[in-house]
Structure formats: structure tokens, C-alpha cells
Amino acid sequence: MARTCMKALIVAVALGEASALKSVAVAPELSSFDTSCYMESDSTLEKGGAKGKGYRGLVASTVSGRTCQKWSEVHPWAAAADITPTSDSEEPVDEKDAAAGKIIYYGNGLGNHNYCRNPDSSMDSPWCYTMDTSKDHKKELCEIPKCPGAPRDFKSEAEDLGNYIGSKDCECASQLFGSTTTTRDTSVAGGAAANEPSDVSECMSISCARERPA
């Protein structure tokens, strides 16, 4: 009887160790494309994807190396299947102008898979329920990089500023470089002496309402 109990105990321990090893199995190495990145905040043409809710990469293990549980499964954590999947959707920015692009409205990205997600925005980045039966490791963050912020397009900004100034027809360029229609000193320095706006920003702030001296 004692020998039978001892065998049962050894089998139980072995099964427990096997389960623990399974939960921390080495994840296959993913390319940077498959890993992708997550956005901390929404961009201009995205809604509801902040804190990685819009993450659609293929990472399926946590920072500790534990394997993620499928969102459609109830074992070991029933809470995973309690979250109803919702789909992403798109709407045109301007129905009359296809070139204006589309706005993406993110769902939660769940389905019959075990990829890291942040379906309820409950954490600051993508996470998952793990295959570990220990409550201490029920839910963990995943090792996913943040997406870099959009770089500034200086050329586009310069063009926009030029178009804005041009639309005002206020001759602010003449404030900086002098008029081409008179020999009088109408540059910034000369204008300042005659109580003219001292720089182009000041010129813009008063909309260049005054006519320039002939």
C-alpha cells in the first residue's frame, strides 16, 4: 500500500513538472516583421488602438517566457474566453475624396489564437493569460517594442508654412529681405526703425493689416 502511494506521488510530481515546463517552453524566434510593435497612443487616422490595443503582431509568449493561452480556450483560465471578440473597422475621412484616406477603428483583435493583445486596455501594453496554472503568473505582459513616433516631415512643414504665408498676401518676405519696388530700406532693421513689425512672426500676428510704405 505504501509503495503504491509513493508511485502515485512520484507520478503527480512528474506531471506537475511537465506542466510547468510546458508553460515556459522556448518560443520560436520571430522576425521583426512578425513581432511588430505597439502604439502608445492613437495616430491621426487611428481610433481605439492606444496602449497596444491595436497591436496585431504574432508574439505568443510573455516577458518571463511563458506560453500564452488561446483567447478562445477556458483552460487554465476561463477569463480568457469571457472577452467577446470585436473586429476592426474603417471609415473614409471624406466620402467625397478617396485620396483623404480612411480612419481605422480598432476592435480587440481576439480570436482562435494565443497572440498577445490588450483587448480591454487593462494594461499599458499587450499581454496575455499564460498556460501556467499558478495564480502568480495568470496574466503577464509580453516582450513587444514600442513603435517609434512619426518623424517630422520638415519639407512638408515648410511647404505648408509657405502656402499659409502666401495665402495672407501680407508681404512678410519684404519685412525680412526688403522691398523690390523701392530703394528705401524696408528690411527688418529698417522697418524696426520706422516702428514696423520686428520679425515675420509679429508681422503674421497682426495679419499685416497696414500697407507698406511706398
Are the C-beta atoms of residues 55 and 126 closer than 8 Å to each other? yes
From 141, 164, 192, the end of a domain falls on 141
Q: What count of Cα atoms within 13 Å lies in the side-chain half-sphere of residue 63?
A: 11
The DSSP 8-state label assigned to residue 68 in this structure reads B
For residues 76 and 116, membership in a common domain is answered with yes
- Residue 157 Rama label (left phi>0; alpha psi -120 to 50; beta): alpha
State what percent of residues in the chain have pLDDT above 70.
60
For residues 134 and 31, membership in a common domain is answered with yes
Residue 55 is part of a domain; what is its CATH number?
Answer: 2.40.20.10
Residues 6+ apart with CB under 8 A from 174: 180, 186, 212
Structural domain includes residue 2: no
pLDDT recorded at residue 134 = 97
For residues 104 and 194, membership in a common domain is answered with no
Mean pLDDT of the chain: 78
How far, in Å, CA of 6 to CA of 11, rounded? 9
Task: Look at residue 84 and tell me whether its pLDDT is greater than 60.
Answer: yes
Domain range for 188 is 154-205
Question: Does the model's pTM come out above 0.85?
Answer: no
Q: Binning pLDDT at 50, 70 and 90, where does residue 98 land? A: confident
pLDDT recorded at residue 13 = 41
For residues 176 and 125, membership in a common domain is answered with no
User: How many distinct structural domains can be found in the chain?
Assistant: 2
Q: Binning pLDDT at 50, 70 and 90, where does residue 169 land? A: low
pLDDT recorded at residue 81 = 97
Are the C-beta atoms of residues 142 and 129 closer than 8 Å to each other? no
Structural domain includes residue 19: no
For residues 87 and 115, membership in a common domain is answered with yes
